[in-house]
Structure 1
Amino acid sequence: MEFTVIDYSIFALLLVLSSAIGLFYALSGNRQRTVQEFLLANRNMSFLPVALSLLATFQSAVAILGVPAEIYRFGTEYWFLGCSYFLGLLIPAHIFIPIFYRLHITSTYEYLELRFNKTVRVFGTVTFIFQMVIYMGVVLYAPALALNAVTGFDLWSAVLTIGLVCTLYTTLGGLKAVIWTDVFQTLVMFAGQLAVIVVGARRVGGMARIWHLAEEEGRISGIDLDPDPFERHTFWTLSMGGVFMMLSLYGVNQAQVQRYLSARSEWEAKLSCYAVFPCQQIVLCLSCLTGLVMFVYDREHPLAPAQRPKSSDQLVLYFVMDVLRDLPGLPGLFVACLFSGALSTISSAFNSLATVTMEDLVSPCCPGLSESRATLLSKLLALGYGLLCLGMAYVSSMLGPVLQAAISIFGMVGGPLLGLFCLGIFFPCANSTGAVVGLLAGLAMAFWVGIGSLLQSMGAAGEPSPPNSTLLPTADNLTTTLATTLLTPMLASQSPTGLQKFYNLSYMWYSAHNSTTVILVGLLVSLLTGECRTAAVDPRTIYPVLPRLLCCLPPKYRQKLCCGVAFPDQDSDHTDTVMKSNGMANGLVPPGSGQREQEGEGQGYISMGGAPEYSLQETSF
């Protein structure tokens, strides 16, 4: 199984075009001379490229390898994850995007300072940096290792080439280059998966026959309504637990929020979130159909024992190299698809890390930086994180099986960060002490459960296979850990009890469990240390969820549910009265909010750190 010249050419074309996009935006327009252009694409992007970039950011090579292998081995139960996409994207569109966009922030963690204080902002930023630095090296190294194991493609040549190309176009072209390369790479991913499905289906008699044979073999799963959170995949685990996972990705993750903020208007930002929904369904459908085609093709065209893959995450590449072996160029197209997933994820990580480092750590310490120096420093930060990614890829090669823990970190950290933002947005009584303690408690819980599950799974004899599945020998290489961590349970010995059973909590509930821990601990600590002075809370940082849910109550009761936060009245023209009740009419502004009052023809306006002014009526809920 080797690449032809055509395959290498197609793979090289992906890298050349990605670099060309970065060079184009580096040499056109304002040539990335301002921080606004480099980090936020001048806030002038339309909804469609933003939507495709949102899709590509977390459609990594891990998912392209792992989801078909999951369907091949365990059936179509995973397909029900698509049920979580509706709420997982609707809630960000109507709650998170309006708040972040109207605050006119650059880093998501600026919100934490506006809502709590600078300490909470720094804690959130450092947590995010830790999450992404660990993850991006693995995302780069894993597909290169899988490709090396199957095709003999030189491992470190692939790692260095992908890493350097990604660093080049991210550093030169900024967010605009990242978004447009994401669009191009998304199309490549669609093309690669479609090619495999079409050719594979034709060779086994069409999709109708594939579905029929898969149903006979028990691969078409029914709806399992078991509510047990320790069951690996059930309808409730995937549809409800998946909502929290989606919120941690599309609601508060800097890589995604930064794309919302690059849209030219709040409506375009919302529209991009709506557009992701059908795209996500298509991507999930293609991955699941690939798994079914793999299953039937393997039954009718089995590989020789010496050619069998050594781990489950190599199944897709073995299948692709076999089914496309007579069609030069198509294996190269699929490999380009695989590395497009890696490129889109890594470039988003570089750009978002440069943004939070610049906005949350550097700018507050160096307030006198000129625009040109700030832009240059932002580019150097993106370059530095690119080189750090290559270093993390090398570290990944040395860790071996411990990398299962490194991959788990991405999921374990996302839940506590989601809980921190939900604590601030939905609970006006929460204070900064509660936020910090809640975040630390959520991280402690996340690592306790995650690492406990990891150690328990490493102590197990091996991965059990479902009935009628192709038995795969247990492998101790890196790539085995990828699909295992993201798409298979942390398995333990038979009939676990006590803490061992607790460690068997389905990975789909991790975000829900950890975010709930942050909220509960944060509220408890806030009550014990003295509730936040709600009169000093900026109403734009709060979403009045209880007044909205209980909208049928009389106004005086709904006002009590606001916990003393004076929300502007959309239906009232008495803006001055609202401002006085919020302590702003006399120049009293919430401590640490960074607001200043300006007069504007009889109407009060507030401004956020030099951002364009917005009236209170415009930002009312």
Structure 2
Amino acid sequence: MHLNPIDLSVIIIYFVSMIGMGLRLSGKNKTTDGYFLGGRNFPGWAIGISFIGAMISSVTFIAYPADSFKTAWIRLVPNFAFPVVVIISAYMFIPFFRRGTVNSAYQYLSMRFGNSVSVYAAVVFMLAQILRTATVAYLVAILLAPMTGVRIEWCILIAGGITALYTIKGGFTAVIWTDVIQTVILVAGAAACIIFVTAAIPGGLGTIFSESWAAGKLSFMDLNAKTGELEPMRGGFSLSEKTVIMLLLVGFVQYVAGKLNQETVQRWCSARTPGDAKRSMIVLGIGSVPIWAMFMFLGTCLWVYFQHFPSSVSVEILSGLRKAEEILPHFIVSVLPPGLAGLVISAALAAAMSTLSSGINTASMVWVRDIYQPYFAKGRDDRHYLRMGLGASLGISILMIGGAFLFYFADTKTLMDFSIIVTALLGGGISGAFLFGMLTRRGDARAVLIGIVATALFTVYATLMQFGIVPRIFDSYYTSIIGNIIMFAVSYGAACLLPEKPRDLKNLTVFDQSKEQLV
């Protein structure tokens, strides 16, 4: 496909605006606090919208409509746990990171458990961010290549390079404000597709609801792989199959883990006041589930559209001959008119670039604040650390783009599986370590390191189980739940057995919160 000049113009305007914003904001980065935290001066509503943009990657942009097109809305169920996590974050987690001088998730681990645990978690986080951003850069390239007619290598360089440019120059200020714009664009892109389908189908929205309801497409049923029919899911507890309650637990655990990493803590610490940090959670809680639901509804709309106007691609997807993730790119390329297609392609880019920019800046902050400054260059002036922050952002961007090229030129499936496995082995249970520190007065580095070893061994078993090497005793969907339980339980048990060392836990557990005002 060769882009229509109108679509090309829309995409160029989007790219130029992102670069222009990064360059405009670069003059504000005079200190490391400005570069990594935006001078701690962001309003809550902007941080909340930035949270939404960072959470909705290009994978979500494509995967949610694909899933509801092929099945129903069952994959939305884990997201219903998110508002509960938002409330816990506002009233339990934020006080830990807005009191005193903590500006890093791993600084908290250092204060609670010591340097060994903090450095381990920081290194794992950086590795995970590099692998994650490389994966997103590669996936958005293979999404854009067939839609634009541009080679995958150039798609990687363009999307990754432009994101790196405005992130390196503009710092965290550029991350937040470009996230705000990108979130608006990606929501507008999805809404534009829904409006187009509604106008194209006889009967409009009424037809979409009536036909999809009759077919069970608006339900929370799951697809039976053997029969090809939608079937209700059980609602009880089970480790061997997917149930509604277990999906809610999966969502809860995953989103708690997401709130206990540096991407989230960095945003909380960048807010003007503790109230703004809490307001960001209100914006996130109110906006996230409806936006996720909108992407699911887009897939339902596409299903109805292709029932009325079937194509060979839609038929092959529904019959299992093609991947469901091809449906939205197919719709954009073959159905949308010029201009609107450019908007939706820009929305897909926005979804990816918000994830990439956040990953680059956050990983560079962890390198400078949690590793380089305390262990390699203590006591230097702030300008030195600012230069290191710029250099770290550049280095991580190069690794991100290089990783995306590696996925492209090598055995992609093997490499991506390897990256997921390595990250899981090293990082499993880190959120369990945070909760162990916050919810108990026991333990030090020794207990947590024992917990990390136990969790890694469990993850090895789960990985071998996936390949059929060892017996399957639970659904792999629940690996994160079990891993964090093991982390917490083993760390607590080890802490009970090991001799206690006296230490000051002020502001480090929920039981030792001071009454001093949050900052």
Q: TM-score, normalised to structure 1's length?
A: 0.76
Structural mapping, 1:473-492, within 5 Å: none
User: What's the counterpart of residue 385 of structure 2?
Assistant: 374
- Measured in 2, the distance between the counterparts of 1:537 and 1:141 equals 46
Is the aligned partner of 1:317 residue 2:329?
yes
* Aligned match of 2:298: 290
Residue 78 of structure 1 pairs with residue 81 of structure 2 = no
Matches within 5 A, 1:600-615: none
The corresponding residue for 1:617 is 515
- Count of residue pairs brought into register by the alignment: 498
Rate the CA distance shift 1:384–1:399 in 2: closer, same or farther, 3 A: same
Identity within the alignment, %: 24
Secondary structure in 1 aligned to 2:507? Answer: helix
Code of the aligned partner of 1:241: V
**TM-aligned CA distance change 1:254 to 1:267, over 3 Å:** same
C-alpha distance 74-407 of structure 1, shift in aligned 2 (>3 A): farther
Shift of 1:62: 0.5
2:441, 2:505 within 8 Å by CA — same for their partners in 1? no
The 3-state SS of whatever aligns with 1:103 is coil
Question: In structure 2, how many angstroms separate the alpha carbons of the residues matched to 1:165 and 1:176?
Answer: 16
Q: Is the 8 A contact 2:218 2:300 kept in 1?
A: no
Amino acid at match of 1:543: V
Question: Is the contact made by 1:415 and 1:515 (CA closer than 8 Å) also made in structure 2?
Answer: yes
Structure of greater relative contact order (alpha carbons < 8 Å, 6+ residues apart): 2
Query: Would the alpha carbon gap of residues 156 and 247 (structure 1) be closer, same or farther in structure 2, given more than 3 Å must change?
Result: same
Distance 1:21 1:74, change over 3 A: same
| Structure 2 residue 485 is matched with structure 1 residue 516 | yes
Distance 1:75 1:305, change over 3 A: closer
- 1:405 deviation in Å? 4.6
SS at match of 1:171: helix
1:415–1:510 contact (8 Å) kept in structure 2: no
Aligned partner (choices 225, 236, 260) of residue 245 of structure 2: 236
**Aligned counterparts of 2:314 and 2:257: Cα–Cα separation in 1:** 42
- Where does residue 476 of structure 2 map in the other structure? 505
Asked if 1:268 corresponds to 2:276, the answer is yes
Q: 1:344 to 1:427 in 2, by over 3 A?
A: same
Shift of 1:296: 1.1
- Correspondence for 2:224: none
- Contact 2:182–2:354 under 8 Å retained in 1: yes
How far residue 230 of structure 1 moved from its aligned partner, in angstroms, is 3.0
Q: CA deviation at 1:48?
A: 1.0
- 1:331 to 2:341 alignment: yes
> In structure 2, what is the Cα distance between the partners aligned to 1:332 and 1:447?
44
Q: Which residue of 2 aligns with 1:557?
A: none
Aligned to 2:9: 9
C-alpha displacement at 1:150, in angstroms?
A: 4.7
Which whole-Å deviations, capped at 9, do the CAs of 1:421-466 have from their partners, x for residues lacking one? 011111111221111221232233234314632x35xx9xxxxxxx
Q: Structure 2, unaligned stretches of length 5 or more? A: 221-231
* In 2, Cα distance between equivalents of 1:32 and 1:153: 35
CA distance in 2, matches of 1:125, 1:517: 21
1:156-555 alignment, distance < 5 Å: 156-204=153-201, 205-222=203-220, 224=233, 225-232=235-242, 234-249=243-258, 251-304=259-312, 310-324=322-336, 327-365=337-375, 366-397=377-408, 398-402=410-414, 403-407=416-420, 416-450=429-463, 452-453=465-466, 455-456=467-468, 499-502=471-474, 504-506=475-477, 509-533=478-502, 536-544=503-511
**Following the alignment from structure 1 to structure 2, what is the Cα–Cα distance between the partners of residues 306 and 131?**
35
CA distance in 2 between counterparts of 1:88 and 1:448 reads: 29
Post-superposition Cα deviations, 1:240-291, rounded to whole Å, max 9, x if no partner, equal 2211111111x21111110110001111101101110111022112111111
Report if the CA contact (8 A) 1:195-1:330 is conserved.
yes
CA shift in 2, pair 1:207/1:81, >3 Å? farther
Unaligned runs of 5+ in 1: 460-497, 545-566, 569-615
Moved more, 259-268 or 404-413: 404-413
Mapped partners of 1:304, 1:296: distance in 2: 15
CA distance in 2 between partners of 1:529 and 1:218 (Å): 55
The CA deviation at 1:537 is: 3.1
- Give the Cα separation in 2 of the matches to 1:107 and 1:21: 26
Higher helix share: 2
In terms of mean alpha carbon deviation, does 47-56 or 150-159 score higher? 150-159
